[in-house]
Structure 1
Amino acid sequence: MTLTPATEFVTYTLDNQVATITFNRPERLNALLPDMIHTYSNLLDFADADPQVRAIVVTGSGRGFCSGADLSILGTDPELVQGFLNGQSHRTVPGKYLHLSTPVITAINGPAAGLGFVIAMSADFRFAKSDAKLSSTFARLGLIAEYGIAWLLPRLVGLARASEILISGRTFTGQQAAEYGLVLSASDDPLSAAYECAADLVSNCSPASMAVIKAQLVRGMNAQFNESADDAFVEMGHAFGREDLAAALRGKIDGVPPQFPSN
């Protein structure tokens, strides 16, 4: 059995082809230490490389999702601050979602702030607890829009709303996030919503198709329409050459979920 790179503070489980990564410092609202960011990055790669994993759910233990970097510790240890700034994991984690083949789903079960907010927003699918408190916080800490969130947020909700969220650094609720279009839904149980979404992907969607469509979306963000259409024609040719289409057709004929090959 392959050992995961999980630790006490960032845990990993696999069930029904859904990997769950959980930030696990509930007494600190899952505030991040440099080693936790490194572990999280490794776990994303670990899950993405496992052919048995068809969806990744990310959440937090206790009453929080992730309150960002643990400023109480970083503020007392200059070496930790320097290590945090010099580390590569915290620079690449938010953008890593864009390059994973496996869909990532965040269940925002409580406060998500700073880097925790960026991690929550960077996923392919996002579900929030209705009363969860969300905030970029950067402007209120004398910082800047970090980790690529200034690139991502306008693409999610438009420049006007992104400007308001980032420049003000104000706190808003999961319900408001749903109204803004930042999350797919707000409810009392975002983890159940995330698992329901993951189960649907596992049962009904081709891993190869999901991976290709994710890549198409990323490429299309900065492409002209004709470039995106040409890209689609190329990918369509590849799709017709894979077993996945035949598996989907057999499933429809037999009235059963398709048995897609692993990606």
Structure 2
Amino acid sequence: MIEAEEMRFEVRERVATITFDRPDRMNAWTPVMERELRRLVAIAAADKAVRAIVLTGAGRGFCAGADVGRLTASASGGVAPVAAPRLSDDDLDQRYSYLLAVPKPVIAAINGAAAGVGLCLALYCDLRYMAAGAKLTTSFARRGLVAEHGSAWMLSHLVGPMNAADLLLSGRVVEAEEAGRLGLVRVLATEGFHEAVQQRAAEFANLCSPRSMGVIKRQLGLVPRQTLADATQLADREVALCRGTDDFREGVAHFVEKRAPRFTGH
């Protein structure tokens, strides 16, 4: 049993689910949650029995942004301004971008409202499933803030510059169906939402080679900084390496033998 103060952690069908657990506050973000998320993701990433990770919220919300108490204190001068900490220049070692470096699929299950930092967290996931009728907003411009945590870069790459400008400059509320049309999320029915996400995550975890998924995730992450030639040459090198692996042999064998795969990640 892995203990956490403001989150829950469980593993089922090779899927680790990390649940933001402040339902009375719509899972508003706190420093405790930030520390616990990094710790729990690291545990799931290191566990060979886990092959996919789901982030979701307890109750009606996913994460409604920073805890309003901290925002109020900051706006009234109760919290002294601090300089941004000096971080690594590594793209995958920023405040939340470490999620992109996890060599397993990380899936946001947006069960309810996602705003501010809550939306930023979802942007760094590999896939985003959203319950029909749920709402999201960047909110920054309507709070006197700016596009935080690399969200301008992420949104521009995920939905294009004009859509990113619309969402960030307006700070307007967007329903799941519009977010789906933008390609930001995949919309699932509200009823049975968590089980539907679990089923999709379990398909990744049990039907796909963990080695292949790790390499593919790295390929996708490199795309914004690559030429087509770079991407093709990397793929050629990785294909050559695949052919000597247990997972490649198993991938062929289970297909020919018409049985469930038994991938090991090797």
Q: Is the CA contact (8 Å cut-off) linking 1:74 and 1:81 kept in structure 2?
A: no
Q: 1:202 to 1:117 in 2, by over 3 A?
A: same
The match for 1:204 is: 207
Q: In the TM superposition, what whole-angstrom CA distance separates every residue of 1:226-254 from its partner, at most 9, and x where no partner exists?
A: 01111111111111111101111111122
Q: 1:39 to 1:79 in 2, by over 3 A?
A: farther
| TM-score, structure 2 normalization | 0.90
1:236 lines up with 2:248 in the alignment? no
- 2:109 counterpart letter in structure 1: A
- Structure 1 residues 1-263: aligned runs within 5 Å: 4=2, 6-76=3-73, 92-188=94-190, 189-262=192-265
- 1:72 counterpart letter in structure 2: G
Q: Is the CA contact (8 Å cut-off) linking 2:6 and 2:32 kept in structure 1?
A: no
Q: Is the CA contact (8 Å cut-off) linking 2:247 and 2:265 kept in structure 1?
A: no
Q: Is the CA contact (8 Å cut-off) linking 2:27 and 2:57 kept in structure 1?
A: yes
Q: In the TM superposition, what whole-angstrom CA distance separates every residue of 1:150-172 from its partner, at most 9, and x where no partner exists?
A: 11111111111111001111011
Mapped to 2, the partners of 1:163 and 1:252 lie a distance apart of 45
C-alpha RMSD of matched pairs (Å): 2.1
Q: Secondary structure at the match of 1:249?
A: helix
Q: Secondary structure at the match of 2:98?
A: helix
Shift of the alpha carbon at 1:85? Answer: 5.8
Q: Is the CA contact (8 Å cut-off) linking 1:57 and 1:105 kept in structure 2?
A: yes
**Paired residue total:** 258
- 1:206 counterpart letter in structure 2: S
Mapped to 2, the partners of 1:130 and 1:232 lie a distance apart of 36
Q: Secondary structure at the match of 2:260?
A: coil
Q: Secondary structure at the match of 1:261?
A: coil
Moved more, 58-67 or 186-195: 186-195
Shift of the alpha carbon at 1:190? Answer: 3.2
Structure 2 residues not aligned, in runs of 5+: 88-92
Shift of the alpha carbon at 1:177? Answer: 0.9
Mapped to 1, the partners of 2:83 and 2:60 lie a distance apart of 25
The match for 2:90 is: none
Q: Is the CA contact (8 Å cut-off) linking 2:104 and 2:213 kept in structure 1?
A: yes
Q: Secondary structure at the match of 2:62?
A: coil
Shift of the alpha carbon at 1:187? Answer: 2.1
Q: Is the CA contact (8 Å cut-off) linking 1:34 and 1:84 kept in structure 2?
A: no
Q: In the TM superposition, what whole-angstrom CA distance separates every residue of 1:196-252 from its partner, at most 9, and x where no partner exists?
A: 211111221000000000001111221000011111111111111111011111111
Mapped to 1, the partners of 2:99 and 2:238 lie a distance apart of 21
Q: 1:227 to 1:262 in 2, by over 3 A?
A: closer
- 1:30 counterpart letter in structure 2: N
Q: In the TM superposition, what whole-angstrom CA distance separates every residue of 1:90-133 from its partner, at most 9, and x where no partner exists?
A: x8343112111010111101110000011122211111111111
Displaced runs of 4+ in structure 1, greater than 4 A? Answer: 77-88
Mapped to 1, the partners of 2:41 and 2:235 lie a distance apart of 27
Mapped to 2, the partners of 1:56 and 1:84 lie a distance apart of 33
Indicate the percent of aligned positions where both proteins have the same amino acid: 36
Mapped to 2, the partners of 1:224 and 1:253 lie a distance apart of 36
